[in-house]
């Protein structure tokens, strides 16, 4: 017997046309380099995106060809999200925070044919132009200045195109739509290639009430760069639901974001913890210095991920009526794998317990299988204590890397992705990341979680940020070193910190061996603590 | 270039295991024939469902074999929803409201191998047992009485099975999981066969914030029978999100439902308009007769569909803090095709406008393409006025019927399903059903919408229900006849009704030619007005 269902492929083109037909009056707002705002309706967005697709086909784009973007967060980048796949191409978002030679290497590795670049990023482009020859460089006149000679003008290209005559490239749902390179703290960056299928499934899972809860009445402010795992996939979801979007452009400083929130109050946003730490510090400083300058957009939810979210940060925002919601994932997982949300089982557990759970990585989302594999290779007990490597599997999880042989370091024999993160899972299947496998500290034969120490240290009133790494120790093999960024006017008091950690339940042998004050914690281009650098700073 | 995503099929087994692992403490409550309640945890549910699958394999079930169910809404029926496909079988829900010979015909047409039947439905089974020989008849001892000889005892079967040893039947995501027969007001019923893929996609779309908004903290009360388009697919969604469920068993009278709502207050429910009409009438009558007997579960949302939902009904529930949310679809569409939800564009439009829109069929949901085809075969304008046939397309829409050749009456040449419903679509792509193609009234060359007349008539204080059909007319070809069920103590006042309709904007020529008072409106087994019967009652 066979099912009688239609054989209709999952497709980004469906989401695009849906948005154009149903939500034509809703708005997409972008902040320009001069900080003014430009508004497009979804109707205009739909036409411009189809024009882009038509123009790319006219330029000779063939099925599967890569079109790179080197852009901030704005409407034209969103046009690329749907327009490049509509033409049959694969959007490859280049990370503008990487070193220029690394960007060039990545563009060459991906064999990008065309590039769409913000005019204000041309100086960066010129630094790596010698490393990879794009056939066409299309310049988006983001600043409004004329596009220099020798480049294709994005706006002229769209103006000369025929959105009505566009024929979508025929595709199977498993055909590629976009690619991102992993941040690669070790080894060369590697490409992950998403498909129509994976992107649509990820959007459906993401918009669920217990995940992002993204509705058509939302106003989404994507602070996470659109070159970080496709802005965590949220722009696709926003287009699917027809939600208003407010893009911050290149203006990601805390005061700029607070200004933008006054002009266009978001109901939903997303970003790494660093952004939100900086935002709350700036906001609270202004409350004494310049009271009334800003209001927090009360009722806003914010997805926070990319690195662990300290409970203290969640509590700080909760005071202003803002719910920080933690998610966990990586470029390889599209990225949504777990999310922290109110569980029915904890309805009567009280606020402290709710905050404690909110500071965890959360519950596996639908379609994603998550297992914690202990050192013996078996699945660890769901007891909240037994750590193991996080392994994942699902229709939007990568099963390989672009043109890289599948290695047992990255994939298990039974086909699960080895994430390199270490976690425990409790009886409600709520996951808590305790470490990266390579950041684990083994002291006297026992594991110490650097993430637990960091979270507890960041709850101390003198500490702005904390990163803990292992230092070699002749007796214990490894011991924890805490690198601290202090809040303004604070000084280091080792005894007080040790007492604070003891109150948080750490045993004596788990306490940091050393504390070092540093000006800033080195970070990777995606905002994660760069522990390799820290270990280099404090070799012993 | 190829995408690097894993090739993991969409599967009901994933949803089942997810529920067992993550939500093991959440509850599934069923009302038994004696009106007592029985509770199972999701952990127990998971084990019982796997035991059922294992037992079916032991009984010799092969891939693609049909297992019929003849059951009320309860936990064992939910076990069949997941357990039969887990074993590789296809669950075929038999509609216990059909005539016995029709049930027998359907079981024979589907070639059902096994049957799972509630013990209290054995008298019905015996009426059609001669028409189709099931290999095994498995009796669920719903009432608690011993299972008669000659039948397989469902509970004994589960007790003897090995849930831990179960091997899920290998499957492709397009393999069948369940089948339903269309209600077939004309012609023989026809089978629609759903797949893992269609069911998982439908669940994801359904649980979206702008559709059912089904979260893990919800308590779902499925009043729609589980044999009506798989209870509109909502039980699958509830298992996916781990929501509590409260099944009413065989007790669907308004006072029984109100009693159950006191014991287990739902946050989300679903049913046809008739159920909710009866509920509000019973509740409001009790407010004078027996004040305090019942409280409405304020804050509850209810999905209402199956036939048009009058604005007056939505307003009546809104007074008690309950949001009736209209959806539109059919067995062929899994069934979710459009849904009415708060649109960003109408945020400031006021309550009257919100109610007016809530009484429409709503906006197409993600993954479903909807078009309105006018008499000229072209897509009608989105102006809220131009009617046409509703045609749909998508990955969970049927593309054929089980073992029936594809006919142009049911499918267009370009592969869309012709629904037989007539609708307009407005500038926000909100659809309003105006008629069934076969119920349209053509008077003097102009169409009159029977649904519009019905809704307006039902807003009159004397009218409980109204159905409008065409009667032949020598001069105008057809004229509308209104069949009315009056509220207790009310009498028919034709002039007052005509004046009421005129106030509602109907032109003189659109007013009913005749009004007839009847005791009840004849309905099909799925609760729709049976207009064929009405036309037979009033042939001229």
pLDDT given at position A452 = 84
Q: Which residue has the tokens 């169409």?
A: B447
- The gap from C-alpha B377 to its chain's centroid, in whole angstroms, comes to 29
Task: From B178, B226, B188, select the one nearest B65 (Cα to Cα).
Answer: B178
Please compute the mean of the pLDDT values over residues A76-81 and round it to a whole number. Answer: 98
Three-class secondary structure of residue B235 per DSSP: helix
Is the backbone of residue B217 left (phi > 0), alpha (psi -120 to 50) or beta?
Answer: alpha
Query: What beta strand segments (E) does A83-226 contain?
Result: 90-93, 114-118, 136-140, 152-153, 176-181, 191-195, 219-222
Q: Which of B64, B179, B208 should one mutate to test binding to chain A, selecting the residue with the greatest count of A CBs within 10 A? A: B208
Whether B328 is catalytic: no
pLDDT given at position B523 = 83
Tens of pLDDT, residue by residue over A127-153, are 999 999 999 999 999 999 999 999 999
Task: From A86, A94, A77, select the one nearest A132 (Cα to Cα).
Answer: A94
Chain A 404-433, CB below 8 Å of chain B: which residues? 415, 417, 428-429
C-alpha to C-alpha distances, B404 to A197, B63, B332, B400, nearest whole angstrom: 30, 21, 14, 7
C-alpha to C-alpha distances, A136 to A112, A173, B451, nearest whole angstrom: 10, 28, 57
A411 in Cβ contact with A418 (< 8 Å): yes
Q: What is the token pair recorded at B437? A: 């193609």
Task: From A330, A294, A298, select the one nearest A524 (Cα to Cα).
Answer: A330
Query: Which segment of A59-63, A226-230, B474-478 scores lowest on mean pLDDT?
Result: B474-478
pLDDT given at position B234 = 98
Q: What is the pTM of this model?
A: 0.90
Chain B residues whose beta carbon lies within 8 Å of the beta carbon of residue A344: 23, 26, 216-217, 242-244
B371–A contact, CB cutoff 8 A: no
Q: Where in chain A is the domain with CATH 3.40.50.12780?
A: 12-271
Q: Which residue has the tokens 């269902």?
A: A5
pLDDT given at position B177 = 98
CA distance A453 to A509: 12
Three-class secondary structure of residue B317 per DSSP: helix
pLDDT tops 80 at residue A337: yes
Assigned CATH topology for domain A440-540: GMP Synthetase; Chain A, domain 3 (3.30.300)
Q: What is the token pair recorded at A396? A: 């939007």
Task: From B201, B302, B258, B238, select the one nearest B78 (Cα to Cα).
Answer: B238
Q: Residues of chain A with pLDDT > 70: what percent?
A: 99
pLDDT tops 90 at residue A473: no
Chain B residues whose beta carbon lies within 8 Å of the beta carbon of residue A201: 204
- Which residue among A21, A62, A385, A442 is the active-site one? A442
Alpha helices in A24-135 (DSSP H): 42-58, 75-86, 100-110, 122-128
Chain B residues whose beta carbon lies within 8 Å of the beta carbon of residue A396: 5
Instruction: Give the contacts of B259 (CB within 8 A, at least 6 positions apart).
Output: B35, B294
Is the backbone of residue B403 left (phi > 0), alpha (psi -120 to 50) or beta?
Answer: left
How many contacts (CB atoms, under 8 Å) link A and B?
Answer: 210
CA distance B428 to B344: 10
B326 in Cβ contact with B361 (< 8 Å): yes
B242–A contact, CB cutoff 8 A: yes
Q: Which of B2, B4, B202 should one mutate to test binding to chain A, selecting the residue with the greatest count of A CBs within 10 A? A: B4
- Which CATH architecture fits A12-271? 3-Layer(aba) Sandwich (3.40)
CA distance B537 to B529: 13
Out of B10, B26, B347, whose CB is closest to A345?
A: B26
- Which residue among A182, A185, A331, A424 is the active-site one? A182
pLDDT tops 80 at residue A98: yes
A188 in Cβ contact with A218 (< 8 Å): no
Contact A198 B5 (CB under 8 A): yes
A450 in Cβ contact with A441 (< 8 Å): yes
B210–A contact, CB cutoff 8 A: yes
Smallest CA–CA distance from A342 into chain B, residue: B217
Chain A 459-518, CB below 8 Å of chain B: which residues? none
- Which residue among B49, B182, B282, B363 is the active-site one? B182
Tens of pLDDT, residue by residue over A426-450, are 999 999 988 777 777 877 767 788 8
pLDDT given at position B394 = 98
pLDDT digits (tens), chain B, 540 positions: 999 999 999 999 999 999 999 999 999 999 999 999 999 999 999 999 999 999 999 999 999 999 999 999 999 999 999 999 999 999 999 999 888 999 999 999 999 999 999 999 999 999 999 999 999 999 999 999 999 999 999 999 999 999 999 999 999 999 999 999 986 555 688 999 999 999 999 999 999 999 999 999 999 999 999 999 999 999 999 999 999 999 999 999 999 999 999 999 999 999 988 889 899 999 999 998 899 999 999 899 999 987 778 899 999 999 999 999 999 999 999 999 999 999 999 999 999 999 999 999 999 999 999 999 988 889 999 999 998 999 999 999 999 999 999 999 899 999 999 998 989 999 999 999 887 777 778 777 677 888 889 989 999 999 999 999 988 887 777 889 999 999 999 999 999 999 999 998 888 888 999 999 999 998 877 677 888 788 888 876
B327 in Cβ contact with B314 (< 8 Å): no
Task: From B242, B210, B168, select the one nearest B362 (Cα to Cα).
Answer: B210
Q: Which residue has the tokens 């490409």?
A: A191
Tens of pLDDT, residue by residue over A184-207, are 555 688 999 999 999 999 999 999
Q: Where in chain A is the domain with CATH 3.30.300.30?
A: 440-540
Smallest CA–CA distance from B367 into chain A, residue: A14
* Element spanning B138, H or E: strand B136-140
β-strand partners of B433: B423
CA distance A201 to A208: 11
- Which CATH architecture fits B12-324? 3-Layer(aba) Sandwich (3.40)
pLDDT given at position A187 = 64
A384–B contact, CB cutoff 8 A: no
B268 in Cβ contact with B214 (< 8 Å): yes
Three-class secondary structure of residue A11 per DSSP: coil
């Amino acid at each position: 017997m066979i099912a009688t269902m239609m054989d209709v492929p999952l497709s980004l083109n469906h989401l695009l046309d849906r948005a154009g037909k149903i939500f034509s009056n809703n708005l997409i707002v972008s902040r320009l380099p001069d900080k003014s705002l430009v508004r497009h309706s979804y109707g205009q967005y739909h036409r411009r995106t189809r024009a882009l697709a038509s123009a790319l086909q006219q330029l000779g784009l063939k099925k599967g060809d890569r079109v790179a973007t080197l852009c901030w967060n704005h409407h034209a980048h969103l046009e690329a999200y749907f327009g490049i796949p509509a033409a049959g191409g694969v959007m490859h978002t280049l990370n503008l925070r990487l070193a220029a030679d690394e960007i060039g290497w990545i563009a060459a590795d991906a064999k990008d044919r065309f590039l769409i670049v913000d005019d204000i990023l041309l100086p960066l482009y010129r630094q790596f132009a010698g490393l990879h020859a794009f056939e066409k460089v299309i310049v988006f006149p983001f600043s409004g200045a004329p596009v220099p000679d020798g480049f294709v003008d994005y706006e002229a290209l769209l103006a000369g195109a025929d959105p009505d005559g566009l024929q979508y490239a025929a595709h199977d749902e498993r055909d590629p739509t976009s690619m991102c390179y992993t941040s690669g703290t070790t080894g060369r960056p590697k490409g992950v290639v998403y498909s129509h299928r994976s992107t649509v499934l990820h959007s459906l899972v993401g918009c669920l009430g217990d995940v992002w809860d993204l509705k058509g009445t939302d106003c989404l402010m994507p602070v996470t760069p659109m070159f970080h795992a496709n802005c965590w996939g949220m722009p696709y979801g926003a287009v699917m639901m027809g939600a208003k979007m407010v893009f911050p452009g290149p203006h990601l400083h805390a005061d700029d974001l607070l200004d933008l929130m006054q002009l266009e109050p978001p109901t939903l946003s997303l970003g790494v913890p660093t952004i939100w730490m900086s935002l709350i510090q700036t906001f609270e400083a202004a409350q004494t210095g310049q009271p009334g300058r800003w209001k927090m957009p009360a009722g806003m939810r914010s997805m926070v991920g990319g690195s662990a979210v300290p409970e203290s940060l969640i509590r700080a925002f909760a005071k202003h009526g803002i719910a920080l919601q933690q998610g966990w994932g990586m470029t390889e997982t599209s990225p949504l794998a777990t999310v922290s949300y109110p569980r029915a089982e904890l309805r009567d557990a009280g606020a402290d317990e709710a905050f404690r759970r909110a500071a965890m990585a959360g519950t596996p989302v639908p379609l994603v299988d998550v297992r914690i594999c202990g050192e013996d290779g078996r699945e660890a007990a769901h007891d909240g204590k037994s750590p193991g490597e996080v392994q994942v599997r699902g229709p939007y999880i990568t099963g390989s890397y672009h043109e890289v042989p599948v290695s047992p370091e990255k994939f298990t024999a039974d086909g699960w992705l080895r994430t390199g993160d270490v976690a425990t899972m409790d009886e409600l299947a709520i996951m808590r990341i305790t470490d990266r496998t390579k950041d684990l500290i083994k002291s006297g034969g026992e594991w110490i979680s650097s993430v637990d120490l960091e979270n507890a240290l960041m709850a101390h009133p003198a500490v702005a940020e904390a990163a803990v790494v292992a230092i070699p120790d002749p007796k214990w093999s490894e011991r924890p070193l805490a690198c601290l960024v202090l809040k303004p006017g604070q000084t280091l008091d080792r005894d007080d910190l040790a007492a604070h950690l003891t109150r948080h339940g750490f045993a004596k042998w788990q306490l940091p061996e050393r504390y070092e004050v540093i000006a800033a914690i080195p970070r990777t281009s995606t905002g994660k603590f760069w522990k390799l650098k820290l270990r280099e700073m404090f070799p012993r």
